[in-house]
Amino acid sequence: MPDHQLDPHKWVDKYSDYLYNYTIVRVSDREVAQDLISETFLAGLKSMKNFKGEASERTWLISILKRKIIDHYRKINSKKGKAEVHIDYTDDESEGDWLEERVADNYDRTAEDEMENNELGLAIFACLDKLPEKQAAIFRRKTIDGQDTETICNEFNITPSNLWVIIHRARTALADCLEKNWF
Amino acid sequence: MGVKLFVGCKKAGFVCDKSQYREAGLKEKIGLIVHLTYCPACRNYTKRNNKLTKLLNNTTVKKMPEEDKKILRQRLLEELSK
For residue range A116-168, what is the model confidence (pLDDT) as tens digits? 667 777 888 888 888 888 898 898 888 877 788 888 899 889 999 899 999 99
Q: In chain B, whose CA is at the least distance from the CA of A150?
A: B23
For residue range B39-48, what is the model confidence (pLDDT) as tens digits? 999 999 999 9
Q: Which residues of B touch A10 (CB under 8 A)?
A: none
Q: Are A19 and A129 in contact (CB under 8 A)?
A: no
The dihedral built from the CA positions of residue A103, A105, A109 and A115, taken in this order, carries a sign that is negative
For residue range A91-116, what is the model confidence (pLDDT) as tens digits? 555 555 555 544 444 445 555 666 66
Integer Cα distance of B64 and A152 in angstroms: 20
Q: Does B11 contact A at CB distance below 8 Å?
A: no
pLDDT at res. A165 = 93
Helical residues (DSSP H) of B1-82, grouped into ranges:
9-20, 26-38, 40-58, 66-81
Distance from CA of A154 to the nearest CA of B (A): 18
| Beta-carbon pairs below 8 A across chains A and B | 93
- Give whole-number Cα distances, B70 to A64, B61, B66, B77, in Å: 21, 19, 6, 11
Q: Which residues contact A23 (CB under 8 A, 6 or more apart)?
A: A32, A33, A36, A37, A65, A69
DSSP state of A131: S
Task: Identify which of A17, A42, A142 has the shortest CB distance to residue B64.
Answer: A17
Higher pLDDT, A85 or A59: A59
3-class DSSP state for residue A104? coil
